[in-house]
Amino acid sequence: MQKIGFVGLGQMGGAMSRNLVKAGHSLQVYDLDEAAVASVVEAGAAAAESPAAAAAGAEIVFTMLPIGAIVEQACFGPDGIAEGIAEGAVVVDMSTILPAETKRIGMRLAEQGVGMVDAPVGRTSAHAVAGTSTFMVGGKAADIERVRPLLMAMGEQVTVCGPLGAGATMKLVNNYISAVVNLATAEGLAMGEKAGLDLEIMAEVLSHTPAGRGHITTTWPEKALKDDPSPAFMLDLATKDLGLAVDLAANLKVPLATGAVSRQLYQVAQARGHGREDWTTGIYRTLKALGGV
Amino acid sequence: MQKIGFVGLGQMGGAMSRNLVKAGHSLQVYDLDEAAVASVVEAGAAAAESPAAAAAGAEIVFTMLPIGAIVEQACFGPDGIAEGIAEGAVVVDMSTILPAETKRIGMRLAEQGVGMVDAPVGRTSAHAVAGTSTFMVGGKAADIERVRPLLMAMGEQVTVCGPLGAGATMKLVNNYISAVVNLATAEGLAMGEKAGLDLEIMAEVLSHTPAGRGHITTTWPEKALKDDPSPAFMLDLATKDLGLAVDLAANLKVPLATGAVSRQLYQVAQARGHGREDWTTGIYRTLKALGGV
């Protein structure tokens, strides 16, 4: 049983703090929304008057808040966590914020001998309720090991991504790819529906291909992830097919916004001499070169 | 044992025609490249002098060619398939071309009593060699059933997508999504690498999430595929995270081209009132509305 502070009891934080109570910990919780506080208090937590009060005497203080500015306010504003927290304690921010914000907060906490771990959450609120969240974690190894049992009380997987801010970076990489994939799926299926294809048939076909199952576990392991350019599918051919899709969309009068810009990037890859390479390795080499990686 | 014509013996066509020979069929094969012809003849096929000669007396004629204009040329040019093929035969085009080209070719063949099926190929040349290709098929049911056993001699899955051209459309929908997903994966990972994340750790994290495993079998079945707007993950939050990723990329000076345009489309979805809907349903409704689907 540990004494824990918890600031931010929204859809995610409310569910997660309840799982800490269930695991037998002593929680001091704070939120601007009194109904949210009441609901966690009913589960067995103690209400705190401020972030400072939630942090008072706690070994670990969790924050789960909407944006970076609010995390900073909760830490360093009037009656903030920094005013109440003891030297040697650790703040664990589970919000999705910029890694630069995470690092700035961590540096200020370090000045008063307080550790920080960033642990943004994978999956959805349903998983938060079920205690099956995943965490992408950044921070010092010793701090991470201290908080790991608590994270495992709220979830089922903790992936250590690197130093402070690495969890936030990983979360943004993940959610970035996910948002584009979601949109590209919508674009492709809307085009198919307008052309007369059946949505269920399309979903069935895509459930067997990298288009539907993603590339990272299908086409990438033997190629881009090993920087192997030998083609399983040549970038020139992928570019040709993308051009045909953009032409088809023009005929059908449907928008393929990500495809139009993708075509430009594949052409950049061709112009840089990657046309006869595998399309995964060729495009990854191109992006790394363009980004100075 | 059937008499079969086969035009186009490149990396894909060469492998596929050899699988038809292995299955015991009598093949008449044609390609401009004499070495490609010789390699299939060695496996047991007969060399034809022209597409017309390859089609002469054949029940089914396969074409596997780089672009639509070449398929048209092979069918209707001098010594083309149309000159040699018998009434009642079926042309099966496995090339990746525009559905409008497929339909145009099919209409001209129909004028002389010849059927047509479009059957573009999923997966890669390695699968073509192994006989484990997949086919997205369009055409009349009777024609498709006639050619199905031959497709199954070259592959392991035939998905009937609709009338003539539906296979070509499905292939472009698939390859469109796949090309964007491949690029978005490269963009996200290049950003992560520049921020100091380890490529293997990123690949491991992504192998458990919709970002890496695709949306069509994970987030879509209970939401967008059922047009259910109740949010598992709210479109407003996805848009916020996408904005953070674009900001992070700006800080790191790396390009996120598909993400920049994706952000615009998510904002369109918000402007149209889909912000508090599930991000899959909200974005799909938006794309359908924009495309007049």
One digit per residue, the tens of pLDDT, for chain A of length 293 reads: 899 999 999 999 999 999 999 999 999 999 999 999 999 999 999 999 999 999 999 999 999 999 999 999 999 999 999 999 999 999 999 999 999 999 999 999 999 999 999 999 988 888 999 999 999 999 999 999 999 999 999 999 999 999 999 999 999 999 999 999 999 999 999 999 999 999 999 999 999 899 999 999 999 999 999 999 999 999 999 999 999 999 999 999 999 999 999 999 999 999 999 999 999 999 999 999 999 99
Can you give the pLDDT at residue A141?
A: 98
Gap between the Cα atoms of B93 and B147, Å rounded = 11
Please report, for residues A100, A167, B160, the alpha-carbon distance to residue B137 in angstroms, rounded to integers and kept in the order given. 50, 44, 5
Contact A242, B175 (CB under 8 A): yes
User: Hey, is the C-beta of A152 within 8 angstroms of any chain B C-beta?
Assistant: no
Residues of A whose CB is below 8 A from B130:
none
Interface of B with A in 159-198 (CB under 8 A): 159-163, 166, 169-198
Q: Of all helices (H) and strands (E), which one includes residue A3?
A: strand A3-7
* Whole-number Å distance between alpha carbons of A157 and A163: 18
- Domains observed in chain A: 3-164 (3.40.50.720), 171-291 (1.10.1040.10)
CA distance B284 to B274: 10
Per-residue confidence band for B125, with pLDDT thresholds at 50, 70 and 90: confident
CA distance A102 to chain B (A): 12
pLDDT category at B273 given cuts 50, 70, 90 is very high
Q: What is the 3-state secondary structure (H, E, C) of B165-199?
A: CHHHHHHHHHHHHHHHHHHHHHHHHHHHHHCCCCH
Contacts of A99 in chain B (CB under 8 A): 195, 248
Which chain A residue's Cα is nearest to B253? Answer: A291
How many contacts does A have with B, using Cβ atoms within 8 A? 399
| Band of residue B65 on the pLDDT scale cut at 50, 70, 90 | very high
- Say which amino acid occupies B266: Y
Does B289 contact chain A (CB < 8 Å)? no
Contact (Cβ atoms closer than 8 angstroms) between residue A287 and residue B190:
yes
For A223-258, give one letter per residue: b (16+ CB within 10 A) or e.
bbbeeebebbbbbbbbbbbbebbbebbeebebbbbb
From the candidates A3, A103, A171, A253, which is the catalytic residue?
A171
Interface check for B203 against chain A (CB to CB < 8 A): the answer is yes
Cα–Cα distance for residue pair A100/A135, rounded to 1 Å? 19
Q: What is the pTM assigned to this prediction?
A: 0.94
Cα dist from B237 to A73, A83, A153, A283, B241, whole Å: 20, 30, 25, 29, 6
The helix or strand, by DSSP H or E, that contains position B19, with its residue range, turns out to be: helix B11-22
Rounding to the nearest 10 degrees, give the CA dihedral for residues A147, A136, A120, B256: 160
Query: Which residues neighbour A52 within 8 Å (Cβ) at sequence distance 6 or greater?
Result: A79, A80, A81, A82, A83, A84, A85
Mind giving me the DSSP string for A149-164?
A: HHHHHHEEEEEEEEST
- A287 touches B: beta carbon within 8 Å: yes
Cβ atoms within 10 Å of B68's Cβ, excluding its own: 21
Q: Which of B187, B216, B287 sits opposite A287 (nearest CB)?
A: B187
Closest CA in chain B for residue A248: B98
Contacts of B244 in chain A (CB under 8 A): 96-98, 172
Task: State the pLDDT confidence band at B27, using cuts at 50, 70 and 90.
Answer: very high
Q: Which residues of B touch A183 (CB under 8 A)?
A: 262, 265-266, 283, 287
Question: Residue B252: what residue type?
Answer: L
Cα nearest neighbour of B291 on chain A:
A254
Please give the ipTM for the structure prediction: 0.94
List the alpha helices (DSSP H) in chain A: 11-22, 34-42, 51-55, 68-76, 81-84, 99-111, 125-130, 141-154, 166-194, 199-206, 210-213, 235-252, 257-271, 279-290
Confidence of residue B4 (pLDDT cuts 50, 70, 90): very high
**Average pLDDT of chain B to the nearest whole number:** 97
Closest Cα partner for B66 from A23, A52, A240, A180? A240
Q: Which of A125-129, A151-155, B2-6, B177-181 has the lowest mean pLDDT?
A: A125-129
| Cβ neighbour number for residue A117 with a 10 Å cutoff | 28
Q: What is the pLDDT at residue B20?
A: 98
Please give the residue of chain A at the shortest CA–CA distance from B173. Answer: A188
What's the token pair of residue B90?
């079926």
Task: Supply the pLDDT for residue B124.
Answer: 84
Residues of A in contact with B220 (CB under 8 A): 185, 203
**Is residue B171 annotated as a catalytic residue, yes or no?**
yes
Structure tokens, B184: 């978005």
CA distance B204 to chain A (A): 9
Q: Which of A173, A209, A247 sits opposite B189 (nearest CB)?
A: A173
At A48, list the tokens.
């705190």
Chain A residues close to B103, C-beta within 8 Å: none
Residue numbers of B between 252 and 281 with CB closer than 8 Å to A: 252-262, 264-266, 279-280
Residue of B191, B204, B206, B196 whose CA lies nearest to B256 = B191
Taking residue A100's Cβ as centre, other Cβ atoms within 10 Å add up to: 16
Q: Look at residue A7 in the predicted model and tell me its pLDDT.
A: 98
DSSP label of A234: B
User: Which residue shows structure tokens 């269920």?
Assistant: A200
Per-residue confidence (pLDDT) for residue A125, from 0 to 100: 86
Instruction: Flag whether residue A286 sits within 8 Å of chain B, measured between CB atoms.
Output: yes
Judging contacts by C-beta atoms under 8 Å, the chain B residues touching residue A198 are: 161-162
What is the pLDDT at residue A123?
Answer: 84
Q: Which among B97, B177, B247 has the least Cβ separation from residue A98?
A: B247
Instruction: Give CA–CA dist B16/B3, Å, rounded.
Output: 15
Chain A residues inside the 8 Å CB shell of B203: 216, 220-221, 225
Residue B46: the pLDDT is: 98
A241 touches chain B (CB under 8 A): yes
Residue B42 contacts by C-beta under 8 Å, 6 or more apart in sequence?
Answer: none
CA distance A53 to A96: 24
Which of B233, B287, B288, B293 has the highest number of chain A CBs within 10 A, making it the mutation to test binding with A? B287
Query: CA geometry: angle at B176 spanning A256 and B227, to 5°?
Result: 65
Q: Which of B3, B22, B171, B253 is catalytic?
A: B171
Residue B97 near chain A (CB below 8 Å): yes
